Amino acid sequence: MLAAWRVDERGRLTVEVTDGGGPTRPLPATPSITARGGRGLNIIRALSQEWGVRDASGEVTVWAALSARESFATRVDLGPAAPPRVAPVPSIAAMPAAFADIDELR
């Protein structure tokens, strides 16, 4: 899994998460009240100005663009546009305590 973000010259924050994909294309879902997952893209859709899914060979990227000038994002440095900052995301196995309640995903 790879996560990246950047702020462009217009002050828009774009966040991207790339992984190996799954058997189906990511789409917003309507999970049951007791479901442990399935809400991520609905949260992205509610908070972002734009979002989408980009496919490449062996990977899928979900991206979202937010206005970094809105009140909830005033801590973002709006200096000159910088290249995306990329950092590997630790595997779930490396963080067992944080994800103890989703053991069915292991």
pLDDT at 3: 93
pLDDT at 89: 60
Distance CA 66, CA 74 (A): 12
pLDDT (tens digit per residue) in 41-97 = 999 998 898 999 999 889 999 999 988 665 544 444 555 655 666 656 655 555 555
Q: Which carries the bigger pLDDT value, residue 94 or residue 13?
A: 13
20 by Cβ neighbours in 10 Å (0-12 / 13-18 / 19+) ranks as: exposed
For the chain, domain boundaries: 2-105
pLDDT at 76: 47
Helix, strand, coil percent values for the chain (each to nearest 5): 20, 30, 50
- Is the whole-model pTM more than 0.85? no
Of 28, 89, 22, 86, the C-alpha closest to 58 is 22
